[in-house]
Amino acid sequence: MKSVSVQGCARALAVGLLLAAAVLDILVAGADGTSILPTASPVWPTLAFLLVGLAAVLWPAARQPGWLTLPVRTAVPALFSVFITLGSLPVRGAVTFGPAEIMILLSLLFAAVLRCPPRWAVGCGVLGAGALLILPLRDGTELSSDVLGLQMIGLLLTGLVAGLAGYLRSLEYRRAVAVNETRRSERLAIAADLHDFVAHHVTGILVQTQVARMMATTQPQELDPVLAGIERAATEALASMRRTVGVLRDTRAEATEHRPVGDLAGIADLVGGFAMPGQRVTLHRDPAVTRELPHEVQAAAFRVVQEALTNIRRHVADATHIEVGLRDHDGRLEVRVADDGRGGTQLPAAAHGGGFGLVGLKERVTALGGELEAGPRDGVGWQIQVVFPALKF
């Protein structure tokens, strides 16, 4: 509230100074062609410009008609000032200029460079600067020392105002680029969360549902564990979606802390709840691998195991033995997931994924300085092996 009141006071002060300068211009110019001051000139050109210029500067943006765009507001008063200057050249000193005209032209120059679209900013800026620089010619066409001095002052003011506006415009552009990049990275992070967590659980629901349908006719008495697994996977999928939606709704910086992430303890939960009837999943964890690892490394290891297990359900549902290994390999964390599947799967084609999982996983691992290898095992099966950089356990 205090910043708003300060801005309002500053705006009111600027408007007051501009109106006071306009009154001074009119007093200098005189009224009805009668000079109020000894060196005064006819007032109508000054009045006409002030009406146009003040309307362009002070017209509320919320109430302006559609045709009154910013290029129009900045170009028309500058053109008017140029016409007045050129029209006064034949009669030396016929029309003067005052502080209000200078302030209006500088204000419009600032607005043109700062706010006009790129294709208009240069044209309107040059037009405003030119109108300001030729103002001293109204006092005489001869390039006297006084005229040249005034033009040098005008050039200095023009450079300062245009430079400040250009600098502020570049700051806004960089800020917009940074905001867009931040939004893009957030969208990619959320997409990765949806793929890694929700897709993992939904794939599990689909596979276990197929198993339940087969067991309904052959082993109905053993359906309860499968149905319990479906219920657990659905609950976890809903929880992951709820966390992701919470991040989208929460605009606070702390919202990133509530994104669904994993750690080494979560890997044990993944392995423990993965096995289907006829499958055996084992976790080999080196005692040297402790929970003292950096959290981002633990989260990346969790995503590696999760993506590998999801791919097994999608592509090698016939695997009977899956091995997950975490070990200290010469001071580096090695994560390995291997299976003995031959590629048999009964999932619909739409559930096979688009190949983005491994791509995103490689990007995540590479960002931490790690290496990822995926390919067939010696003999039968497939494996994913990731080695993270040297770490202190």
How far CA 125 is from CA of 42, 112, 120, 317, in Å, comes to 29, 6, 8, 68
Q: Is the pLDDT of residue 347 over 60?
A: no
Segment 244-274, tens digit of pLDDT: 666 666 555 444 444 445 778 888 888 887 7
H or E element that contains 231? helix 223-249
Give the Cα separation of 63 and 160 in Å (integer). 31
Q: How far is the C-alpha of 304 from the C-alpha of 312, rounded, in Å?
A: 12
Placement of tokens 């250009």 in the chain: 166
18 within 8 A of 57, measured Cβ to Cβ = yes
What's the pLDDT tens digit per position in 107-142? 999 999 998 998 899 999 999 999 998 888 876 655
pLDDT at 78: 92
- 198: Cβ–Cβ under 8 A, 6 or more apart, which residues? 237, 240, 241, 244
Determine which of 21-35, 180-194, 218-232 has the lowest per-residue pLDDT on average: 21-35
Q: Which residue has the tokens 């005692």?
A: 287
Q: 61, 151, 74: which is closest to 111 by C-alpha?
A: 74
The answer to whether residue 42 scores a pLDDT higher than 50 is yes
Distance CA 321, CA 340 (A): 6
Q: Which residue has the higher pLDDT, 339 or 392?
A: 339
More confident residue, 127 or 352: 127
**Kind plus residue range of the DSSP H or E element containing 345:** none
- Across the range 163-184, mean pLDDT stands at 86
User: How much is the pLDDT for 268?
Assistant: 85
How many Cβ atoms from other residues are within 10 Å of residue 249's Cβ? 8
Q: Which of 75-84, 251-260, 295-304 has the lowest mean pLDDT?
A: 251-260
213 CB contacts (<8 Å, ≥6 apart)? none
Distance CA 128, CA 108 (A): 7
Q: How many CB atoms lie within 10 A of CB 25?
A: 23
- What CATH class is the domain 261-393? alpha beta
- What is the chain's Cα-based Rg? 37
Q: What is the mean pLDDT of residues 389-393?
A: 59
Q: Per residue in 13-26, pLDDT tens?
A: 878 888 888 888 77
Domain spans of the chain, in order of start:
2-142, 261-393
- In whole angstroms, what is the distance from residue 254 CA to residue 230 CA? 32
